[in-house]
Structure 1
Amino acid sequence: MVDSELTFKDSNECLLVIMPSVVIRLLAHRQLYWNSKEAAGVLIGERRGPHLVIQDISEPGEGDIRSRFSVDRQGPHHQIAVDKAFAQSSGTLQYLGEWHTHPEDQPSPSAKDLSSWRRHLVDSEQMLLVIVGREEIWAAKKIADTIVPLNKI
Protein backbone atom coordinates (compact mmCIF):
# COMPACT_ATOMS: atom_id res chain seq x y z
CA MET A 1 0.00 0.00 0.00
CA VAL A 2 2.96 2.35 0.55
CA ASP A 3 4.75 2.25 -2.82
CA SER A 4 1.82 3.54 -4.86
CA GLU A 5 -1.06 5.92 -4.67
CA LEU A 6 -4.24 4.88 -2.91
CA THR A 7 -7.38 5.32 -4.99
CA PHE A 8 -11.05 5.32 -4.03
CA LYS A 9 -14.19 6.00 -6.08
CA ASP A 10 -17.81 6.83 -5.49
CA SER A 11 -20.89 5.47 -7.27
CA ASN A 12 -20.51 8.14 -9.99
CA GLU A 13 -16.96 6.97 -10.80
CA CYS A 14 -15.47 10.14 -9.26
CA LEU A 15 -12.02 9.43 -7.88
CA LEU A 16 -10.15 10.24 -4.71
CA VAL A 17 -6.41 9.76 -5.15
CA ILE A 18 -4.04 9.87 -2.16
CA MET A 19 -0.47 10.39 -3.36
CA PRO A 20 2.16 7.86 -2.19
CA SER A 21 4.07 10.36 -0.02
CA VAL A 22 0.85 11.16 1.83
CA VAL A 23 -0.02 7.47 2.30
CA ILE A 24 3.39 6.95 3.95
CA ARG A 25 2.82 9.89 6.31
CA LEU A 26 -0.71 8.74 7.22
CA LEU A 27 0.43 5.19 7.93
CA ALA A 28 3.18 6.52 10.21
CA HIS A 29 0.44 7.67 12.62
CA ARG A 30 -1.34 4.30 12.95
CA GLN A 31 -2.20 3.35 16.53
CA LEU A 32 -0.25 0.11 16.60
CA TYR A 33 0.44 -0.07 20.35
CA TRP A 34 -1.79 -0.08 23.43
CA ASN A 35 -0.60 3.40 24.39
CA SER A 36 -0.70 5.01 20.92
CA LYS A 37 -2.73 8.21 20.86
CA GLU A 38 -5.12 9.28 18.14
CA ALA A 39 -3.62 11.61 15.57
CA ALA A 40 -5.35 14.12 13.29
CA GLY A 41 -4.74 16.73 10.66
CA VAL A 42 -6.14 18.31 7.55
CA LEU A 43 -6.09 17.10 3.96
CA ILE A 44 -4.57 19.42 1.36
CA GLY A 45 -4.86 18.89 -2.37
CA GLU A 46 -6.47 19.65 -5.69
CA ARG A 47 -9.94 19.56 -7.11
CA ARG A 48 -9.64 18.23 -10.66
CA GLY A 49 -13.18 18.53 -11.92
CA PRO A 50 -15.14 15.88 -10.01
CA HIS A 51 -11.93 14.18 -8.86
CA LEU A 52 -9.91 14.97 -5.73
CA VAL A 53 -6.18 14.46 -5.23
CA ILE A 54 -4.64 14.62 -1.74
CA GLN A 55 -1.10 15.91 -2.12
CA ASP A 56 -0.26 16.94 1.43
CA ILE A 57 -1.49 16.78 5.01
CA SER A 58 -0.91 18.55 8.28
CA GLU A 59 0.24 16.33 11.13
CA PRO A 60 -0.20 16.36 14.91
CA GLY A 61 1.72 19.04 16.73
CA GLU A 62 1.82 21.54 19.55
CA GLY A 63 -1.61 22.56 20.77
CA ASP A 64 -3.40 19.38 19.70
CA ILE A 65 -5.15 17.44 22.47
CA ARG A 66 -4.62 13.69 22.02
CA SER A 67 -5.65 10.56 23.93
CA ARG A 68 -6.13 6.89 23.10
CA PHE A 69 -9.70 7.31 21.86
CA SER A 70 -10.02 10.97 20.93
CA VAL A 71 -8.21 13.86 19.35
CA ASP A 72 -8.93 17.57 19.21
CA ARG A 73 -7.02 19.34 16.46
CA GLN A 74 -6.26 22.69 18.14
CA GLY A 75 -2.76 23.68 16.98
CA PRO A 76 -2.47 26.69 14.66
CA HIS A 77 0.01 24.78 12.49
CA HIS A 78 -2.86 23.05 10.64
CA GLN A 79 -4.23 26.32 9.25
CA ILE A 80 -0.69 27.57 8.58
CA ALA A 81 -0.06 24.46 6.43
CA VAL A 82 -3.21 25.13 4.38
CA ASP A 83 -2.41 28.81 3.94
CA LYS A 84 1.18 28.06 2.90
CA ALA A 85 0.16 25.39 0.37
CA PHE A 86 -2.52 27.68 -1.09
CA ALA A 87 -0.11 30.60 -1.46
CA GLN A 88 2.78 28.57 -2.88
CA SER A 89 0.52 26.87 -5.44
CA SER A 90 -1.28 30.07 -6.49
CA GLY A 91 -4.52 28.60 -5.17
CA THR A 92 -4.25 25.14 -6.75
CA LEU A 93 -3.70 23.36 -3.44
CA GLN A 94 -6.46 23.87 -0.89
CA TYR A 95 -8.15 22.45 2.19
CA LEU A 96 -10.06 19.30 1.19
CA GLY A 97 -11.10 17.87 4.55
CA GLU A 98 -9.87 16.08 7.64
CA TRP A 99 -8.12 12.88 8.66
CA HIS A 100 -7.62 11.11 11.97
CA THR A 101 -6.69 7.69 13.31
CA HIS A 102 -8.64 4.97 15.09
CA PRO A 103 -7.17 2.11 17.17
CA GLU A 104 -8.92 -0.56 15.09
CA ASP A 105 -7.90 -2.68 12.11
CA GLN A 106 -10.75 -1.69 9.77
CA PRO A 107 -11.79 1.78 10.88
CA SER A 108 -15.26 3.24 10.64
CA PRO A 109 -16.64 6.53 11.90
CA SER A 110 -17.94 6.72 15.45
CA ALA A 111 -21.16 8.52 16.35
CA LYS A 112 -18.97 11.33 17.68
CA ASP A 113 -17.15 11.55 14.32
CA LEU A 114 -20.40 11.73 12.36
CA SER A 115 -21.87 14.37 14.66
CA SER A 116 -18.71 16.48 14.59
CA TRP A 117 -18.40 16.35 10.80
CA ARG A 118 -22.04 17.32 10.30
CA ARG A 119 -21.75 20.19 12.77
CA HIS A 120 -18.32 21.61 11.91
CA LEU A 121 -17.45 20.61 8.36
CA VAL A 122 -19.72 22.95 6.42
CA ASP A 123 -18.91 23.92 2.85
CA SER A 124 -20.67 24.18 -0.49
CA GLU A 125 -17.92 21.98 -2.00
CA GLN A 126 -17.66 18.25 -1.29
CA MET A 127 -15.25 17.58 1.56
CA LEU A 128 -13.13 14.52 2.32
CA LEU A 129 -13.00 12.43 5.47
CA VAL A 130 -10.26 9.88 6.09
CA ILE A 131 -9.79 7.51 9.03
CA VAL A 132 -6.51 5.63 9.30
CA GLY A 133 -6.81 2.25 10.98
CA ARG A 134 -4.13 -0.27 11.84
CA GLU A 135 -4.66 -2.24 8.60
CA GLU A 136 -6.99 -0.20 6.39
CA ILE A 137 -7.78 3.39 5.47
CA TRP A 138 -11.46 4.41 5.33
CA ALA A 139 -12.49 7.35 3.14
CA ALA A 140 -15.72 9.23 2.48
CA LYS A 141 -17.05 12.42 0.97
CA LYS A 142 -19.29 14.83 2.80
CA ILE A 143 -21.74 16.42 0.40
CA ALA A 144 -24.06 18.87 2.20
CA ASP A 145 -25.28 16.81 5.20
CA THR A 146 -24.68 13.42 3.58
CA ILE A 147 -21.61 11.30 4.24
CA VAL A 148 -20.88 8.95 1.35
CA PRO A 149 -18.32 6.17 1.99
CA LEU A 150 -15.94 5.56 -0.90
CA ASN A 151 -14.81 2.22 -2.30
CA LYS A 152 -11.12 1.39 -2.47
CA ILE A 153 -9.99 0.33 -5.96
Structure 2
Amino acid sequence: MVDKELVFKALDESLVVISTEVTNTLLSYRQLSDSSQESAGVLIGERRGVHIIIKTLSEPSRWDIRSRFMVDRVSKHHQMAVDIAFKKSNGELHYLGEWHTHPEDVPSPSIIDYSSWHKNLKLSEPLILIIAGRTDFWVGKKIQDNIEMLKRI
Protein backbone atom coordinates (compact mmCIF):
# COMPACT_ATOMS: atom_id res chain seq x y z
CA MET A 1 0.00 0.00 0.00
CA VAL A 2 1.04 3.55 -0.65
CA ASP A 3 0.14 6.60 1.38
CA LYS A 4 0.63 9.33 -1.21
CA GLU A 5 -0.44 10.06 -4.75
CA LEU A 6 1.77 9.24 -7.72
CA VAL A 7 2.74 12.05 -10.10
CA PHE A 8 3.93 11.67 -13.69
CA LYS A 9 5.15 14.32 -16.13
CA ALA A 10 4.86 14.52 -19.91
CA LEU A 11 7.39 16.13 -22.24
CA ASP A 12 5.12 19.20 -22.46
CA GLU A 13 5.41 19.58 -18.64
CA SER A 14 1.76 18.57 -18.07
CA LEU A 15 1.16 16.40 -15.02
CA VAL A 16 -0.85 13.27 -14.38
CA VAL A 17 -1.72 12.72 -10.72
CA ILE A 18 -2.95 9.30 -9.61
CA SER A 19 -4.80 9.37 -6.29
CA THR A 20 -3.70 7.18 -3.41
CA GLU A 21 -7.00 5.28 -3.61
CA VAL A 22 -6.51 4.47 -7.30
CA THR A 23 -2.87 3.48 -6.77
CA ASN A 24 -3.79 1.09 -3.97
CA THR A 25 -6.60 -0.43 -6.02
CA LEU A 26 -4.21 -1.00 -8.93
CA LEU A 27 -1.71 -2.60 -6.54
CA SER A 28 -4.42 -4.97 -5.31
CA TYR A 29 -4.76 -6.44 -8.83
CA ARG A 30 -1.07 -7.16 -9.42
CA GLN A 31 -0.46 -10.59 -10.92
CA LEU A 32 1.75 -11.90 -8.13
CA SER A 33 1.12 -15.63 -8.58
CA ASP A 34 1.32 -17.90 -11.61
CA SER A 35 -2.46 -18.29 -11.56
CA SER A 36 -3.30 -14.56 -11.38
CA GLN A 37 -5.43 -13.30 -14.24
CA GLU A 38 -5.06 -9.99 -16.04
CA SER A 39 -7.41 -7.29 -14.80
CA ALA A 40 -8.65 -4.14 -16.50
CA GLY A 41 -10.91 -1.15 -16.15
CA VAL A 42 -11.33 2.50 -16.99
CA LEU A 43 -9.85 5.59 -15.36
CA ILE A 44 -12.10 8.36 -14.09
CA GLY A 45 -11.18 11.83 -12.92
CA GLU A 46 -10.88 15.43 -13.91
CA ARG A 47 -8.98 17.65 -16.28
CA ARG A 48 -7.47 20.82 -14.84
CA GLY A 49 -6.21 22.69 -17.86
CA VAL A 50 -3.42 20.52 -19.29
CA HIS A 51 -3.17 18.47 -16.10
CA ILE A 52 -5.09 15.26 -15.40
CA ILE A 53 -6.15 14.01 -11.96
CA ILE A 54 -7.21 10.35 -11.74
CA LYS A 55 -9.59 10.06 -8.80
CA THR A 56 -11.25 6.67 -9.24
CA LEU A 57 -11.52 3.72 -11.62
CA SER A 58 -13.71 0.82 -12.57
CA GLU A 59 -12.69 -2.63 -11.38
CA PRO A 60 -13.00 -5.97 -13.19
CA SER A 61 -16.34 -7.70 -13.19
CA ARG A 62 -17.25 -11.36 -13.36
CA TRP A 63 -18.45 -10.80 -16.94
CA ASP A 64 -15.07 -9.61 -18.23
CA ILE A 65 -13.05 -12.22 -20.12
CA ARG A 66 -9.80 -12.79 -18.23
CA SER A 67 -6.81 -15.11 -18.49
CA ARG A 68 -3.15 -15.02 -17.48
CA PHE A 69 -2.05 -12.98 -20.52
CA MET A 70 -5.24 -11.37 -21.78
CA VAL A 71 -8.24 -9.39 -20.61
CA ASP A 72 -11.29 -8.14 -22.47
CA ARG A 73 -13.58 -5.67 -20.73
CA VAL A 74 -16.99 -6.77 -21.95
CA SER A 75 -19.06 -5.73 -18.97
CA LYS A 76 -21.28 -2.67 -19.19
CA HIS A 77 -20.46 -1.86 -15.57
CA HIS A 78 -17.30 0.01 -16.70
CA GLN A 79 -19.40 2.53 -18.63
CA MET A 80 -21.87 2.65 -15.75
CA ALA A 81 -19.01 3.60 -13.39
CA VAL A 82 -18.18 6.55 -15.64
CA ASP A 83 -21.84 7.58 -15.91
CA ILE A 84 -22.38 7.41 -12.14
CA ALA A 85 -19.19 9.37 -11.37
CA PHE A 86 -20.16 12.03 -13.93
CA LYS A 87 -23.64 12.40 -12.47
CA LYS A 88 -22.56 12.40 -8.80
CA SER A 89 -19.87 15.02 -9.49
CA ASN A 90 -22.20 17.30 -11.46
CA GLY A 91 -20.11 16.76 -14.58
CA GLU A 92 -16.67 17.24 -13.05
CA LEU A 93 -15.50 13.61 -13.33
CA HIS A 94 -14.98 12.09 -16.78
CA TYR A 95 -13.60 9.05 -18.55
CA LEU A 96 -9.81 9.57 -18.77
CA GLY A 97 -8.44 6.33 -20.17
CA GLU A 98 -7.73 2.68 -19.53
CA TRP A 99 -5.79 0.48 -17.13
CA HIS A 100 -4.80 -3.17 -17.09
CA THR A 101 -2.25 -5.48 -15.51
CA HIS A 102 0.69 -7.45 -16.88
CA PRO A 103 2.35 -10.48 -15.26
CA GLU A 104 5.80 -8.86 -15.26
CA ASP A 105 7.74 -6.86 -12.70
CA VAL A 106 8.31 -3.75 -14.80
CA PRO A 107 5.54 -3.65 -17.39
CA SER A 108 5.69 -2.32 -20.92
CA PRO A 109 2.98 -2.23 -23.59
CA SER A 110 2.74 -5.16 -25.98
CA ILE A 111 2.11 -4.83 -29.70
CA ILE A 112 -1.45 -5.92 -28.93
CA ASP A 113 -1.79 -3.08 -26.38
CA TYR A 114 -0.62 -0.47 -28.88
CA SER A 115 -2.84 -1.88 -31.61
CA SER A 116 -5.89 -1.91 -29.33
CA TRP A 117 -5.28 1.63 -28.07
CA HIS A 118 -4.88 3.00 -31.61
CA LYS A 119 -7.95 1.15 -32.85
CA ASN A 120 -10.34 1.76 -29.95
CA LEU A 121 -9.35 5.03 -28.26
CA LYS A 122 -10.44 7.84 -30.56
CA LEU A 123 -11.02 10.78 -28.23
CA SER A 124 -9.55 14.13 -29.30
CA GLU A 125 -8.54 14.96 -25.71
CA PRO A 126 -5.49 13.28 -24.12
CA LEU A 127 -6.12 9.86 -22.59
CA ILE A 128 -4.12 8.13 -19.89
CA LEU A 129 -2.97 4.51 -20.19
CA ILE A 130 -1.73 2.56 -17.17
CA ILE A 131 -0.23 -0.91 -16.98
CA ALA A 132 0.25 -2.24 -13.46
CA GLY A 133 3.12 -4.69 -13.15
CA ARG A 134 4.24 -6.62 -10.11
CA THR A 135 6.71 -3.97 -8.89
CA ASP A 136 6.14 -0.89 -11.04
CA PHE A 137 3.71 0.96 -13.29
CA TRP A 138 3.93 1.99 -16.94
CA VAL A 139 1.98 5.22 -17.52
CA GLY A 140 1.42 6.74 -20.92
CA LYS A 141 -0.53 9.56 -22.50
CA LYS A 142 -2.28 9.17 -25.84
CA ILE A 143 -2.86 12.33 -27.86
CA GLN A 144 -4.40 11.61 -31.26
CA ASP A 145 -2.15 8.88 -32.74
CA ASN A 146 0.86 9.55 -30.50
CA ILE A 147 1.51 7.59 -27.29
CA GLU A 148 4.13 9.02 -24.94
CA MET A 149 5.53 7.21 -21.92
CA LEU A 150 5.37 9.52 -18.91
CA LYS A 151 8.15 10.04 -16.37
CA ARG A 152 7.45 9.51 -12.68
CA ILE A 153 8.46 12.47 -10.52
Correspondence for 1:26: 26
The reply to whether residue 146 of structure 1 matches residue 138 of structure 2 is no
Q: Give TM-score scaled by structure 2 length.
A: 0.99
CA distances 1:114-148 after superposition (whole Å, capped 9, x unpaired):
00000000011011100000000110000000101
CA distances 1:67-110 after superposition (whole Å, capped 9, x unpaired):
00000001111000000000011110000000000000000000
Amino acid at match of 1:35: S
Q: Secondary structure of 1:26's match?
A: helix
Runs of 4+ in structure 1 off by over 6 angstroms are none
Q: Give TM-score scaled by structure 1 length.
A: 0.99
Taking the aligned partners of 1:45 and 1:148, their CA distance within structure 2 comes to: 20
Correspondence for 1:45: 45
Q: Secondary structure of 1:142's match?
A: strand
Taking the aligned partners of 1:12 and 1:110, their CA distance within structure 2 comes to: 25
Count how many residue pairs are aligned between Structure 1 and Structure 2: 153
Identical counterparts, % of pairs: 58
Unaligned runs of 5+ in 2: none
Taking the aligned partners of 1:61 and 1:68, their CA distance within structure 2 comes to: 16
The reply to whether residue 10 of structure 1 matches residue 10 of structure 2 is yes
Taking the aligned partners of 2:20 and 2:32, their CA distance within structure 1 comes to: 20
Correspondence for 1:58: 58
Q: CA deviation at 1:62?
A: 2.5
Q: CA deviation at 1:12?
A: 1.4
The reply to whether residue 84 of structure 1 matches residue 84 of structure 2 is yes
